Chain A
Amino acid sequence: MASTETTAKDSGDLAGLEAGLDALETVQAGRKPFRQTFVEKIFPPVVAVALVLAAWQALVSFKIVDDPTKLPSPGAVWEVVRQAWLQGELLGYIWTSVSRGLLGFFFALLIGTPLGLLVARVRFVRAAIGPILSGLQSLPSVAWVPPAVIWLGLNNQMMYAVILLGAVPSIANGLVSGVDQVPPLFLRAGRTLGATGLKGTWHIVLPAALPGYVAGLKQGWAFSWRSLMAAEIIASFPDLGVGLGQLLENGRNASDMAMVFEAILLILTVGIAIDLLIFSPLERWVLRSRGLLVKG
């Protein structure tokens, strides 16, 4: 009986020791107070934008650039935006472009994902089209607009084609680099657990490659948006509806510099907004859940 008692006591000691070690070595992560987030994250970019606006206003006020057809005042641009809003046209411009951009991006996702997986996993496919896929990323997508117009005509299909050619290589390459960076240890661990073949791809390779894939999606969106703007500017055609690119082109044709600035600001704002609302949170979530996001 004495021996069982000792075992029980030993076991109790061990449990206590273990609980102590666990408590000592676990770091409690708290959320930052809003004030700190505001001072560190929100305040600096607001100051930067305010400084740019101030410099712009100064250029106009002190008559350093004294020609509204070259540089309208911030107030004049704001007035154009406000009028477009009051006439109910503003959301129409934005929606025309954003709906095209997101739909095109969605198609690019459907094509780029299996393509990336194929390039990453099949040696022959990688050797055959891997370098071309990376090379395509450095081709400005505006180069695809003339052939797309000739092949498909002036219509929405042509816009989507240009978006696809711009975004598919980014998405596929993101997935390829994600798969390439999967630690071999995960693959070995997966194999000993019985995750081989397709099971291994589904349970181990794809989730492990997610950070690279999401980085590819983020870049893919940036490329989609740029390609679309190039397509809208070049292939401006009244029947297509007025998106932000056409707005820019219309402004140029009317020599209306305030309208040109309006369009540029809207293109920039929408591009950043989609990234901030969709892709950055997605990326942060993926990285944070894996403990890969360094605080600060």
Chain B
Amino acid sequence: MATTLAKAADGTEAVTQAARIEHVSKSFAGPAGQQLVLDDITLDVAPGEFVTLLGASGCGKSTLLNLVAGLDRPTAGAISTDGRPALMFQEHALFPWLTAGKNIELALKLRGVAKNERRGRAEELLELVRLKGAYGKRVHELSGGMRQRVAMARALAQESKLLLMDEPFAALDAITRDVLHDELTRIWRETRLSVLFVTHNVREAVRLAQRVVLLSSRPGRIAREWTVGIPHPRRIEDTAVAELSVEITEELRGEIRRHGQH
């Protein structure tokens, strides 16, 4: 709440950013005293922008996402978002005691959507992720890819302006992941959502994003940024995707190598 107040008091911005991360640091109490996980991160996500956060293990990318989601507080700095963001996890995190449709309806209910509108809205969202017949299906009756699509529909049900995604496709097989990349791109372009997508997969980052932000590890700092101008529809095999991926991978390897030198 304090962050929103600080922003209002500032009052100088012309455009409201979907997310504004200003000089954010985060440390946790570890065995060797305070451990700095994120160091002075400043990053804006513009309305409708697709940004991927890329980094090796220990770069604190999930920590940063948790901070933006409001599940944790930064040690220093400020984060403001335009409304409460939706969050998708690596695991689908669907509730197994509810059907696919009811999972979506719970999100609608918690947002205050009237009872008689929920069913229709849930069906629409399922249609958007191309799971028209899945309303009454139990979570365990769905495949991994279908579960993540229901989870996406549930996240979209929150009607947030910002969608946070924490390696949502990491546990899927390659073909399903590729299909879901197309699906996410399509939905992002249809809904004009802002997306902040965390991954350790360089190709995934390049295939999806308008902007790729590379984080260094321990502590996480912004190492470099790339703007991806490759037109959609992109494919994972595209030469342009491959070329940029090679460049970013080199940089990422350099970041990782630094940690082995002492």
A positions within 8 Å CB-CB of B: 6-7, 10-11, 14-15, 17-19, 21-22, 25-27, 29, 185-186, 188-189, 191-195, 199, 203-204, 207-208, 210, 289-292
Contact = CB atoms under 8 A, between A and B. Distances in A.
Interface in B205-253: 233
6 contacts: A7-B233, A22-B146, A25-B176, A210-B97, A289-B97, A290-B96
Contacts of B143: 21-22, 25-26
Interface in B142-183: 142-146, 154, 158, 175-176, 179, 182-183
A10 B154 CA distance: 25
A290 B98 CA distance: 8
Interface in B119-147: 130-131, 138-146
B183 A18 contact: yes
Contacts of B154: 193
Contacts of A18: 130, 145, 179, 183
Given A18-B179, A21-B145, A291 B140 contact: yes
B86 interface: yes
B91 interface: yes
Contacts of B15: none
Contacts of B97: 207-208, 210, 289-290
Contact of A189 (B84, B93, B139): B93
B176 A194 contact: no
A185 B87 CA distance: 12
B89 A185 contact: yes
B233 A188 contact: no
B95 A207 contact: yes
B138 A290 contact: yes
Interface in B27-69: 69
Contacts, number: 91
Contact of B96 (A14, A188, A203, A291): A291
A27 B141 CA distance: 7
B23 interface: no
B71 A204 contact: no
Classify chain B: how many residues form its interface, as a range.
35 or more
B106 interface: yes
B110 interface: yes
Given A14-B179, A290-B97, A189 B89 contact: yes
Looking at A10, A22, A210, which has the most chain B CB atoms within 10 Å of its CB? A22
A25 B144 contact: yes
Contacts of B182: 10, 14
B73 interface: no
Contacts of B179: 14, 17-18, 21
Given A25-B143, A189-B93, 4 more contacts: A6-B233, A14-B186, A203-B110, A290-B138
Nearest to A28: B141
Looking at B85, B87, B144, which has the most chain A CB atoms within 10 Å of its CB? B87
Contacts of A291: 96, 138-141
Contacts of B192: none
A140 to B, nearest CB: 35
A291 B97 CA distance: 9
Name the prevailing secondary structure of the B interface residues: mixed
A199 B106 CA distance: 11
Contacts of B175: 21
Nearest to A17: B179
A193 B71 CA distance: 11
B71 A26 contact: no
A186 B93 contact: yes
A191 B71 contact: yes
Contact of B107 (A193, A199, A289, A292): A193
A25 B145 contact: yes
B86 A185 contact: no
B138 A289 contact: yes
Contact of A192 (B86, B138, B144, B146): B86
Nearest to A210: B97
Nearest to A289: B138
B71 A188 contact: yes
Contacts of A194: 84, 110-111, 158
A25 to B, nearest CB: 3
Nearest to B160: A192
Nearest to A27: B141
A191 B111 CA distance: 12
B176 A26 contact: no
Given A18-B183, A21-B145, A188-B71, A10 B138 contact: no
Looking at A11, A25, A208, which has the most chain B CB atoms within 10 Å of its CB? A25
A78 to B, nearest CB: 46
A199 B144 contact: no
A218 B219 CA distance: 51
A207 B182 CA distance: 34
B51 to A, nearest CB: 19
Given A186-B93, A210-B97, A291-B138, A25 B146 contact: yes
Given A21-B145, A290-B96, A193 B158 contact: yes
B242 to A, nearest CB: 20
